[in-house]
Structure 1
Amino acid sequence: MAAIKVHGFHASTATNMVLCCLNEKQVEYDFVLVDLLTGAHKKPQYLALNPFGVVPTIQDGDLTLFESRAIVRYLAQKFRGQGTDLLGSTLSEEALVYQWCEVEGQSFDPPVSTIVSQILLVPMRGGSTDEAAVEMSIEKLGKVLDIYEERLSKSKYLAGDFFSLADLQHLPHTHYLVNASGKGDLISSRKHVNAWWEDISSRPTWQKVAENMKFHRE
Structure 2
Amino acid sequence: MVLKLYGFPISTCTRTVAATCKELNIPYEFINVDLAGGEHKTAEFTAVHPFGQIPYIDEDGFKLFESRAISRYLAKKYAGNGPKLIPTDPKEEAIFEQGVSIESFNFYPSAIGYAKEKVFKPMFGLTTNEERAAEHLETLNAKLDAYDVLLGKQKYIGGNEYTLADIFHLAYALAVVEAGQGGLFESRPNVARWWEEISNRKAWVDVIEKGV
Helix, strand or coil at the partner of 1:211 = helix
> Which of 192, 197, 200 is equivalent to 1:199?
197
Tell me the C-alpha RMSD between the 2 structures. Answer: 1.5
**Structure 2 stretches of 5 or more lacking a match?**
none
The verdict on how the C-alpha distance between 1:208 and 1:62 changes in structure 2, with shifts beyond 3 A counting, is: same
**Structure 1 stretches of 5 or more lacking a match?**
none
Find the counterpart in structure 1 of residue 73 from structure 2.
Answer: 74
Amino acid at match of 1:82: N
| More divergent stretch after superposition (99-108 vs 163-172) | 99-108
Cα distance, 1:205 vs structure 2: 0.4
What is the TM-score normalised by the length of structure 1? 0.93
Find the counterpart in structure 1 of residue 10 from structure 2.
Answer: 11
Find the counterpart in structure 2 of residue 58 from structure 1.
Answer: 57
Amino acid at match of 1:193: V
Write the deviation string for residues 71-91 of structure 1: whole angstroms up to 9, x where unpaired.
111111111122111112411
Count of residue correspondences: 212
Cα distance, 1:92 vs structure 2: 1.1
| More divergent stretch after superposition (198-207 vs 84-93) | 84-93
Find the counterpart in structure 2 of residue 185 from structure 1.
Answer: 183
Q: In structure 1, how many angstroms separate the alpha carbons of the residues matched to 2:26 and 2:211?
A: 20
Amino acid at match of 1:22: C
What is the TM-score normalised by the length of structure 2? 0.95
Report if the CA contact (8 A) 1:11-1:212 is conserved.
Answer: no
Report if the CA contact (8 A) 1:111-1:137 is conserved.
Answer: yes
Find the counterpart in structure 1 of residue 169 from structure 2.
Answer: 170
Amino acid at match of 2:206: K
Cα distance, 1:211 vs structure 2: 1.8
1:132 partnered with 2:119? no
Q: In structure 1, how many angstroms separate the alpha carbons of the residues matched to 2:211 and 2:59?
A: 24
Write the deviation string for residues 101-155 of structure 1: whole angstroms up to 9, x where unpaired.
1221122111111111101111222221111111110111112111110011111
